[in-house]
Each structure stands twice: as structure tokens, then as C-alpha cells.
Amino acid sequence: MTKIQDIIKKSNVAVITGGASGIGLAAAKHFARVGMSVAIADLGGDRLAEAAKELKSISGEENVLAVETDVAQKDSLEALERTVIQRFGRVHILMNNAGIGPETSIFSAQADWDSIVGVNLLGVINGTRTFGQHMLSHGEPGLIINTGSKQGITTPPGNPAYNVSKAGVKVFTEALEHELRNTEGSKISAHLLIPGFVFTGLTKGDRAEKPAAAWTPEQTVNFMIESLERGDFYILCPDNDVARAVDERRMAWAMGDIIENRPPLSRWHKDYADKFKAYLERQE
């Protein structure tokens, strides 16, 4: 089995979408500190330029590339790949991390659904399909890390477009890993990053200070690296409020809706509130 140290090392190349802030920027900084060449892709020229400046201060201008990219558009991702290959020659880590999360309902405007599914799901699918074949063909070990969400597993009420997009990321990444491990000669593995409550631009709202319950992006990336060192596919992150054991129970309950033929999302159904509470307490 390939060791993570054979991939996250000096002279190798990482590409991170959504790399100008949050988890993406924290990952880019981690890769830069070990001497990797790093390409970050995002929207927002000023923010992207500032992130690139931070990275160059870590690893030098020659090792950093920043490309304005709309991951919802396949041709934009294809242009990103051409630019990266021209500059660095090959890619060893692809982190499909770009994500948005405006609130939606089932009958929200079509544009809201299109933008969330376009960025969160198609950005991952097309990012993988655009970079993945070249990553396989160069023959060196590598990783594809896709950022999912706990909401894509337990699918709580409140933002169905986001939940659908992240549930799709989970299913796609599982299928990707299955295909990669059954591809002759493949040295590429796929991994699903499942963050907890992380204080980023996506989650902070009007808050200026990190809530006590939240992790920082750096904590999340550190946990991700530790999980990759173990060879984990599902990188299920805790936070300062919810331990892994609680996440496991919530996920098991969600699957139990199908097995026990309960109403969907029974965890939030008034007739099952006491049963769910007792289930959590019984498992402690």
C-alpha cells in the first residue's frame, strides 16, 4: 500500500479547488510547508491573489499557481488542468473542495438549485473526470480528496439542494474509489472528507469570532492528514461539540429509517423525538 509520505512530499503537485479560503487554503498551506507545488483555484480575484501571496511566502513564487476557476463549468476546469500541467507537468493530489451553501427549499428558485448542484456536485464530478485520467496515466502515487458533508449522509431538513449535492458527492466518491482500486496499475486512491462544524466563510454567517463548538480549518486538515496516514476512505471529522460516537449513532439512525420502515427523516419527526433521544442515551 502506498504510504502518504510518498505523495505529500517535496516536488509533488497538489491542486485544490475552493483554495482561497477555509479548508482549501488550510490544506494548500499544509502541502506548501512540506515543499509541494500548489495550485489553488477559486473565484474572486482579490481573495485568490491574497491567498496566493500567503502561499508564496511559505514555499516561494515558483511553487504557487492561482487560477480563477468556476468549477460549475467543465471548460473552466479543463482550462485549469491545462494551465497546471503546463506549469508543473503532473498532479499528485486533487482536492475537489469548492462548495457553496445558500439556504434552499424544494421550491426555491431554479438558479439557486443550479448553482449549488453545479458547484458542489458537478464541480467534484467534472474535476475528477478532468484531472483523473492524467493522474492515472503518469503512474505515480496520488490522491483524489472530495469534500462531502455530514448533511449528505443524515440529510437534515432545511437545505435540500445542499443535502442532495453532498449526498451525490458521497455516492460518486465511493464509486470512484471502487473503480480506482479495480483499475490495473492504478496508484491513485479516492477519499471522502466529511467535515464537522468548521469555522469558514460557508458557516460563520455574521459571526466575527469562532464559536467554541467549531473546529478551525487547520484542525480539520490535520485530522484529514492523520486519517490519510491510516488509509481511511471516510474521513469523518469530529468537532468541539460532537464526538465521532454521536455522529455514528445519528448516521445509524438515518439508515434505520429504511431498515425499520420509519417515516423519512424520523429523527426530526414529532412521533419519534422521544425514541431518538432514548436511542442516543441507550448507546452511551
Q: So where are the chain's domains?
A: 4-241, 243-284
What pLDDT does 283 receive?
59
The helix (H) or strand (E) run that includes residue 234 is strand 234-236
Assigned C-alpha cell, 242: 460532537
The most distant pair of C-alpha atoms in the chain lies apart, rounded to whole Å, by 60
Q: 275: how many CB neighbours lie within 10 A of its CB?
A: 13
List Cβ neighbours of 27 (8 Å cut-off, separation of 6 or more).
Answer: 14, 16, 19, 95, 97, 221, 224
CATH number of 4-241: 3.40.50.720
User: Percentages helix, strand, coil for the chain, rounded to the nearest 5?
Assistant: 50, 15, 35
Q: How far apart are CA 100 and CA 123, in angstroms?
A: 11
Which residues are marked as active site? Answer: 162, 166
**Predicted confidence (pLDDT) at residue 206 exceeds the cutoff of 90:** no
Please state the rounded mean pLDDT for residues 17-38: 97
The span from the CA of 134 to the CA of 62, in Å, is 22
Q: What is the pLDDT of residues 208-225, one digit of tens each?
A: 787 788 999 999 999 999
User: Cα(63)–Cα(10) distance, rounded to whole angstroms?
Assistant: 10
Q: What is the DSSP letter of 150?
A: T
Residue 5 pLDDT > 80 = yes
Cα–Cα distance between 185 and 169 in angstroms, integer? Answer: 25
Ramachandran sector of residue 93 (left: φ over 0; alpha: ψ -120 to 50; beta: rest): beta
Total-model pTM? 0.95
74-88 vs 123-137: helix crossing angle, rounded to 10? 30
Report the amino acid identity of residue 254: A
Asked whether the predicted pLDDT for residue 282 surpasses 90, the reply is no
> What three-state secondary structure class fits 270?
helix
Closest CA to 16 of 35, 37, 33: 37
In this predicted structure, the answer to whether residue 108 has a pLDDT above a threshold of 70 is: yes
Predicted confidence (pLDDT) at residue 198 exceeds the cutoff of 90: yes
CA 221, distance to chain mean position in Å, is 11
pLDDT tens sequence across 225-237: 999 999 999 999 9
Residue 44 has a pLDDT of 86
Q: With bands split at pLDDT 50, 70 and 90, how would you rate the model's confidence at 55?
A: very high
Is residue 161 over pLDDT 70? yes
3-state secondary structure of 34: coil
Residues in contact with 41: Cβ distance below 8 Å, sequence separation at least 6, in sequence order: 15, 16, 17, 18, 19, 66, 67, 68, 69, 71, 80, 98
Cα(9)–Cα(6) distance, rounded to whole angstroms?
6
Cell of residue 47, nine digits: 481573495
CB 35 within 8 A of CB 59: yes
**Angle value at C-alpha 54, between 141 and 189, nearest 5 degrees:** 15
Q: CA–CA separation, 222 vs 224, rounded Å?
A: 5
